[in-house]
A and B are shown apart, each in its own frame.
Chain A
């Protein structure tokens, strides 16, 4: 088993040997297809080429999807059917607050993301240093949510009222003349908002890119014509820019809604769900590993799946409308 701990060997295996095997597989298949009749080869070829990507996707996404639903309807040891009992649990007791928090994320994160990315995309478009501004707002996208959480946890920390506040936010807060520091991450509801701010910081960059691409596609003549007709900036934004970038806005909304559903790292590191900040995706992890209850974890997973369905349908509609 030494090979599993030898990093250079692993990299060679995964980055060189496996791609070579994929190439050999394709070469072998084409050899066989060449010997078959042209008609048969024509029918079989797409399936042969799709075989590897389909096999991996089927194993990693489709098979577990089905089994998760099965597990969610059975008891923890998966020895008997329990109907909807795991789902009853998911909507009772302390889980109600967890659900509520996820709902808060699901509303606040897409809303905050779309407002900030609209502001950034429209305003950056008007300044000469746009490239630099975009780079800066993109920097957090390269950083892991783990690192983002570590950075922000420090910014949010607090010292007793008589000690110097060494964290930025409370230093500013006390500098403004407050007598008590704010326990940002320990005060319910405020702390959930604070976690959402971290997610915003990490994801507005990508949203800005998407909205910005839409804004740049708005024909300049439309804007100029409206300006000459005497329309103000606000009117131009609402009557000309906004209708033209609806697809980009929908993409940002669906992307950040999915992000809100699956947010794990930020909650796990900043509070680990304490002080009333838990969300379903983090709860699923603790059910699986701390409580060792795969059935309840699966029930949560199924709820995530159900919540993702309308988002998927919205994406599908959008994709069909934009064409291709």
Chain B
């Protein structure tokens, strides 16, 4: 028996090398474009014209000039401000309304709760394009077009199905007795919601909040459609897309602006990865 296992282990060893090789190649492929972005943003226009960004590792001529111009001329920080003014309220409102909806579905026993849940599953796959034309007409008619709350409304409404679905799965797993003892203590549903549901669901609420912040910050289509014609600085994705699609673009500045636009989401992902993973995994398989 042990001899058999030993032979097996030997055979596996050859496979180990191939295993590490494939994993490392995958990681390198996935990381290289980001390295290229950072390297490009640190090189001058003249350098960029004669050699590729990898040259920076051979001959490190680094300049922060692109960043200075991205902030000074292009106004990346103003754009980031608009992005925050979209993403922060959207994140908080989505989390709050999703928690309220999930609580109502799981604990307050509405008739046909299962049908509601099924409707959520269906709404999860709705492409945003399906709903933008009538909303654009509506927002224009009521004077909301070009204003920040139009984007809040859309992004919150679009993510609520996912949010309710996510929190619902978590709430179902909380033992009945916790709620029963609160009722015996005389707590009303609002007190139960604020004192029990919110604290107990904190991990999944954090997961939803992080996902929604990233989605809102990274969204291009919705602000492009609903913020057009406003007087506000465009959010950071719209601004970068504008530079990228205009003629005679300034490539190094575009790279610096792009680098600044991905810095915050990357920091959030790396530092709060645990919550990000929880939000994705429990939103998909369990339900």
On A, residues with C-beta under 8 Å from B are: 4-5, 7, 10-11, 13-15, 18-19, 22, 26-27, 30, 34, 45-47, 49-50, 52-54, 56-57, 59-61, 63-65, 67-68, 71, 116, 119-120, 123-124, 126-127, 132-133, 135-155, 164-168, 171, 201, 204-206, 209-210, 213-214, 227-228, 233, 247-248, 251, 254-255, 258, 261-262, 264-265, 268-269, 272, 281, 284-285, 288-289, 294, 297-298, 300-302, 304-305, 308, 311-312, 315-316, 319-320, 322-324
- A54 cross-chain contacts in B, Cβ below 8 A: 101
Q: How far is the CB of A216 from chain B (nearest CB, A)?
A: 10
The answer to whether B199 has its CB under 8 Å from any CB of chain A is: no
The answer to whether B230 has its CB under 8 Å from any CB of chain A is: yes
Residue pair B134, A71 in contact (C-beta under 8 Å): yes
Residue pair B156, A13 in contact (C-beta under 8 Å): no
Residue pair B19, A123 in contact (C-beta under 8 Å): yes
- B228 cross-chain contacts in A, Cβ below 8 A: 289
- A319 cross-chain contacts in B, Cβ below 8 A: 118, 121, 287
Contact stretch, chosen from B59-67, B90-98, B175-183, B200-208 = B90-98
The answer to whether B244 has its CB under 8 Å from any CB of chain A is: yes
- B122 cross-chain contacts in A, Cβ below 8 A: 312, 315-316
Known contacts A60-B158, A147-B262, A262-B128; decide if A50 and B105 are in contact (CB<8 Å). yes
Nearest residue, chain B, Cβ from A159: B49
The 9 closest A-B pairs by CB, nearest first: A14-B89, A60-B157, A46-B110, A144-B218, A53-B101, A67-B134, A49-B104, A142-B269, A64-B131
Residue pair B154, A322 in contact (C-beta under 8 Å): no
Nearest residue, chain B, Cβ from A166: B52
* A147 CA to B108 CA, complexed, in Å: 43
The answer to whether B26 has its CB under 8 Å from any CB of chain A is: yes
User: Is chain A's interface secondary structure helix, strand, loop, or mixed overall?
Assistant: helix
* A49 CA to B254 CA, complexed, in Å: 46
Q: Which of B33, B96, B265 contacts A201 (CB 8 A)?
A: B33
Q: Which of A7, A14, A142 contacts B214 (CB 8 A)?
A: A142
- A30 cross-chain contacts in B, Cβ below 8 A: 188-190
The answer to whether B217 has its CB under 8 Å from any CB of chain A is: yes
Nearest residue, chain A, Cβ from B156: A56
Residue pair B220, A265 in contact (C-beta under 8 Å): yes
On B, residues with C-beta under 8 Å from A are: 4-5, 8, 15, 19-20, 22-23, 26-27, 30-34, 36-37, 40, 48-54, 81-82, 84-85, 88-90, 92-93, 96-98, 100-101, 103-105, 108-111, 116, 118, 121-138, 147-149, 152-154, 156-158, 160-161, 164, 169, 172, 188-190, 193, 214, 217-221, 224-225, 228, 230-232, 237, 240-241, 244-245, 251, 254-255, 258, 261-262, 265-266, 268-270, 273, 276-277, 280-281, 284-287
- B172 cross-chain contacts in A, Cβ below 8 A: 324
Residue pair A154, B98 in contact (C-beta under 8 Å): no
- B4 cross-chain contacts in A, Cβ below 8 A: 228
Q: Which of A132, A210, A316 contacts B285 (CB 8 A)?
A: A210
A to B contact number (C-beta, < 8 Å): 344
Known contacts A65-B131, A324-B169; decide if A142 and B157 are in contact (CB<8 Å). no
Q: How far is the CB of B48 from chain A (nearest CB, A)?
A: 7
Known contacts A168-B52, A315-B121; decide if A60 and B232 are in contact (CB<8 Å). no
- B158 cross-chain contacts in A, Cβ below 8 A: 60-61
Q: A57-B123, A168-B54 are in contact. List 14 more A-B contacts (CB 8 A).
A: A46-B109, A127-B23, A151-B36, A154-B255, A164-B51, A166-B51, A201-B30, A210-B281, A228-B4, A268-B241, A284-B129, A285-B129, A312-B126, A324-B169
- B134 cross-chain contacts in A, Cβ below 8 A: 63-64, 67-68, 71
Known contacts A281-B129, A284-B129; decide if A46 and B31 are in contact (CB<8 Å). no
Residue pair A233, B15 in contact (C-beta under 8 Å): yes
Residue pair B88, A251 in contact (C-beta under 8 Å): no
Nearest residue, chain A, Cβ from B82: A7
Residue pair B157, A300 in contact (C-beta under 8 Å): no
Nearest residue, chain B, Cβ from A304: B127
Which of A132, A154, A168, A269 has the most chain B CB atoms closer than 10 A to its own CB?
A154
* A254 CA to B49 CA, complexed, in Å: 43
Residue pair A10, B244 in contact (C-beta under 8 Å): no
- A71 cross-chain contacts in B, Cβ below 8 A: 133-134
* A57 CA to B119 CA, complexed, in Å: 11
- B281 cross-chain contacts in A, Cβ below 8 A: 209-210, 213
Residue pair B190, A144 in contact (C-beta under 8 Å): no
Write 5 A-B pairs (CB below 8 A) sorted by A numbering. A11-B84, A167-B52, A300-B129, A301-B131, A302-B130
- A135 cross-chain contacts in B, Cβ below 8 A: 270, 273
* A135 CA to B30 CA, complexed, in Å: 10
- B118 cross-chain contacts in A, Cβ below 8 A: 316, 319-320
Residue pair B147, A4 in contact (C-beta under 8 Å): yes
Known contacts A7-B81, A123-B22, A324-B169; decide if A166 and B48 are in contact (CB<8 Å). yes
Q: Which of B104, B149, B225, B241 contacts A269 (CB 8 A)?
A: B241
Q: How far is the CB of A248 from chain B (nearest CB, A)?
A: 6
* A232 CA to B158 CA, complexed, in Å: 46
- A139 cross-chain contacts in B, Cβ below 8 A: 30-31, 34, 266, 269-270
Known contacts A22-B96, A264-B129; decide if A142 and B266 are in contact (CB<8 Å). yes
Residue pair B262, A68 in contact (C-beta under 8 Å): no
Nearest residue, chain B, Cβ from A233: B15
* A123 CA to B248 CA, complexed, in Å: 44
* A250 CA to B169 CA, complexed, in Å: 19
